[in-house]
Chains A and B, each alone.
Chain A
């Protein structure tokens, strides 16, 4: 113990000898460890968030988008632009596919929404009455439109939280009239906040109106962008997906061999897709971490070689006073480990700082588990030991009298 403390003290003394050099040497390790910590914290937060968002899509959701599957097309973006889905398709699904609980057609367009002097550009979503149930999206106030309003293509609107804020501030929008692309709609409800979706879009930046009103009064068309279908159970999702595909192929009169003119995605597929992007990001950060730890390790090796050369006389003296080779080896290994472990600690602090900032910017919860933090520090000490080994061995193999004579 005494011996270890003394070695520790000597190592600290050696590192304090040139503080700037010590700090610069630690930099590589600092960056590497910071990258690891940030990666874990942000990546972990991201996958939690993805899970949350996938769940927030609704329960057992099957999404039918207009247009065939395009390679690399956005899950909710690219597909759905071709005008191949109709309201009749939605009704046929409700009628003919077993295991379906809810169906909501969906049409969408960007629009200017104004109330009084305030106005904002947002998304108008034309949806069915079952949409809140499908998407698990409760109201914060007021009410959702009913079947009568849907049938009548009534000019009623339910505001997303962001839009309500933008137009009405903290005031109560219910009963007010908003103009959507110039067409007046009466606000009957405000949705509860839902946050960002997997693509990072703010889902609360939207106005919901009956799809009938959206098609007839705003878009002037009859084609849907997508049909949201809620299956009765998770187990029913597969069969529902297959049945819908068969039904739509038949309704769209697609001969065998022709590709689908629609795309069906289930919640699981969306989750897997979103998961893959976070995995890529984590992999990239991991590569950065690996490279900078390698560079950091080489930096430590370099500086330890310099240190061994500078302290040749000291090594000679220690050998002359009875130090064994392994004592010298241990001394320099401790020094290298201390150097890189200190870098690890600073790196952890920096990584946590970075993930804090990222969490704040991305609106993601980011936290690194204690085990990862401890592991990073231990690992960086290991980097020091690994890269410090060669210089330390060089010190340990010195000849005492030669070393003492060196200046």
Chain B
């Protein structure tokens, strides 16, 4: 699915060039669920932007589905972003004047072949349902909590059933329970065939993946498979009951 060879990314800033990625080699097979961890500033988001075809490496080769991304036409890249990849941004990036439902519909505006209006709307509703937000479909982002906004962003990434789901800190603003529920959703999508790459700071969240990649200073310093990913049902059961917590 993904094949990175000696990827470098150097940001040209006014002060001095920042070498954010220093030779990353990574292979991800179809159907994998990978968690990317690492300290702040280690290059995780930079890597995700490259994987999402939003940015181009300064050096190195990125092959996606056996195609060299550097050689794709702009329209082909747009189609990849639209249909192949679902991207959850670290900062959500929602349209502030549009409702949650309209935000989730957004990728479908650019889908080929075109969808019918009612079809797009019902798909958007289903996607909102999967993140537990049907009731908030007609609210604008400013009327939603941070966690709810994050879930709208996840719904938007899911709505076109991407083969590759890229999520930059998808649970950064969520409580433990909701985080586990979202991980359950990711595992479910993964079981249905989606490849998932997820950035997270929390080992508790990373445990739901099958493989954990650790970055430091723009390089991959550890890469190991998990024998037994965490089970969301069991994890939820282990959470202290809220009612109990209140009486305690």
Contacts of B79 in A (CB 8 A): 322
- Complex CA gap A324/B78 in Å reads 6
Q: Is B74 a contact partner of A324 (Cβ separation < 8 A)?
A: yes
Q: Which of A217-225, A275-283, A310-318, A367-375 contacts B (4 or more CB under 8 A)?
A: A310-318
Q: Can you identify 26 A-B contacts, CB atoms within 8 angstroms?
A: A2-B116, A6-B105, A6-B117, A7-B109, A13-B97, A17-B97, A318-B106, A318-B110, A320-B54, A320-B89, A320-B93, A321-B81, A321-B82, A321-B156, A322-B79, A322-B82, A322-B83, A323-B82, A323-B109, A324-B74, A324-B78, A325-B78, A400-B54, A401-B54, A401-B55, A404-B54
Contacts of B83 in A (CB 8 A): 322
Contacts of B55 in A (CB 8 A): 401
Determine how close the nearest CB of chain B comes to the CB of A85; give it in whole angstroms.
Answer: 80
The answer, yes or no, to whether B120 is at the interface (CB within 8 Å) is yes
- Complex CA gap A327/B110 in Å reads 8
Q: Give residues 381-407 of A contacting B (CB, 8 Å).
A: 400-401, 404
Of B49, B75, B81, B117, the residue contacting A5 (CB under 8 A) is B117
- Interface positions of B (Cβ within 8 A of A): 49, 52, 54-55, 74-75, 78-83, 87, 89, 93, 95, 97-98, 105-107, 109-111, 114-117, 120, 156
Q: Is A317 a contact partner of B95 (Cβ separation < 8 A)?
A: yes
The answer, yes or no, to whether A319 is at the interface (CB within 8 Å) is yes
Determine how close the nearest CB of chain B comes to the CB of A13; give it in whole angstroms.
Answer: 5
Contacts of A317 in B (CB 8 A): 93, 95, 106
The 5 closest A-B pairs by CB, nearest first: A322-B82, A2-B117, A324-B78, A322-B110, A322-B81
Given contacts A314-B95, A321-B81, contact A6 B109 (CB under 8 A): yes
Contacts of B80 in A (CB 8 A): 322
Q: Is B78 a contact partner of A322 (Cβ separation < 8 A)?
A: yes
Contacts of A6 in B (CB 8 A): 105, 109, 117
The answer, yes or no, to whether A1 is at the interface (CB within 8 Å) is yes
Q: Is B105 a contact partner of A322 (Cβ separation < 8 A)?
A: no
Contacts of B106 in A (CB 8 A): 317-318, 321
Q: Give residues 329-344 of A contacting B (CB, 8 Å).
A: none
Contacts of B156 in A (CB 8 A): 321
Q: Is B97 a contact partner of A320 (Cβ separation < 8 A)?
A: no
Determine how close the nearest CB of chain A comes to the CB of B97; give it in whole angstroms.
Answer: 5
Contacts of A10 in B (CB 8 A): 98
Determine how close the nearest CB of chain A comes to the CB of B92; give it in whole angstroms.
Answer: 10
- Complex CA gap A401/B110 in Å reads 18
Q: Is A324 a contact partner of B105 (Cβ separation < 8 A)?
A: no
Determine how close the nearest CB of chain A comes to the CB of B86; give it in whole angstroms.
Answer: 9
The answer, yes or no, to whether A3 is at the interface (CB within 8 Å) is yes
- Complex CA gap A404/B52 in Å reads 13
**Closest residue of chain B to A317, judged by CB?**
B93
Q: Is A313 a contact partner of B109 (Cβ separation < 8 A)?
A: no
Q: Is B117 a contact partner of A324 (Cβ separation < 8 A)?
A: no
- Complex CA gap A400/B54 in Å reads 6
- Complex CA gap A353/B199 in Å reads 63
Given contacts A314-B95, A327-B110, contact A320 B87 (CB under 8 A): yes
Determine how close the nearest CB of chain A comes to the CB of B229; give it in whole angstroms.
Answer: 29
Contacts of A7 in B (CB 8 A): 109
Contacts of A321 in B (CB 8 A): 81-82, 87, 106-107, 110, 156
**Closest residue of chain A to B52, judged by CB?**
A320
- Complex CA gap A2/B83 in Å reads 18
- Complex CA gap A134/B93 in Å reads 83
Q: Is B114 a contact partner of A2 (Cβ separation < 8 A)?
A: yes
Q: Is B117 a contact partner of A1 (Cβ separation < 8 A)?
A: yes
- A6, A322, A400 — most chain B CB neighbours (10 Å): A322
- Complex CA gap A140/B111 in Å reads 76
Contacts of A325 in B (CB 8 A): 74-75, 78
Given contacts A323-B78, A324-B75, A324-B110, contact A2 B54 (CB under 8 A): no
Q: Is B49 a contact partner of A401 (Cβ separation < 8 A)?
A: yes
Determine how close the nearest CB of chain B comes to the CB of A396; give it in whole angstroms.
Answer: 10
- A3, A7, A17, A320 — most chain B CB neighbours (10 Å): A320
Contacts of B98 in A (CB 8 A): 10, 13
- Complex CA gap A5/B108 in Å reads 13
Contacts of A319 in B (CB 8 A): 78, 81
Contacts of A401 in B (CB 8 A): 49, 54-55
Determine how close the nearest CB of chain A comes to the CB of B77; give it in whole angstroms.
Answer: 9
Of A5, A17, A313, the residue contacting B93 (CB under 8 A) is A313
Of B93, B95, B107, the residue contacting A322 (CB under 8 A) is B107
Determine how close the nearest CB of chain A comes to the CB of B84; give it in whole angstroms.
Answer: 9
- Complex CA gap A201/B117 in Å reads 64
Contacts of A17 in B (CB 8 A): 97
Known: A10-B98, A318-B106, A321-B110. 7 other contacts (CB 8 A): A316-B93, A320-B87, A322-B110, A322-B111, A323-B110, A401-B49, A401-B54
Contacts of B120 in A (CB 8 A): 2
- Complex CA gap A322/B85 in Å reads 9
- Complex CA gap A314/B128 in Å reads 21
Contacts of A322 in B (CB 8 A): 78-83, 107, 110-111
**Closest residue of chain B to A400, judged by CB?**
B54
- Complex CA gap A1/B120 in Å reads 12
Contacts of B116 in A (CB 8 A): 2
Of B93, B97, B114, the residue contacting A404 (CB under 8 A) is B93
Contacts of B105 in A (CB 8 A): 6
**Closest residue of chain B to A331, judged by CB?**
B109
Contacts of A5 in B (CB 8 A): 117
Contacts of B97 in A (CB 8 A): 13, 17
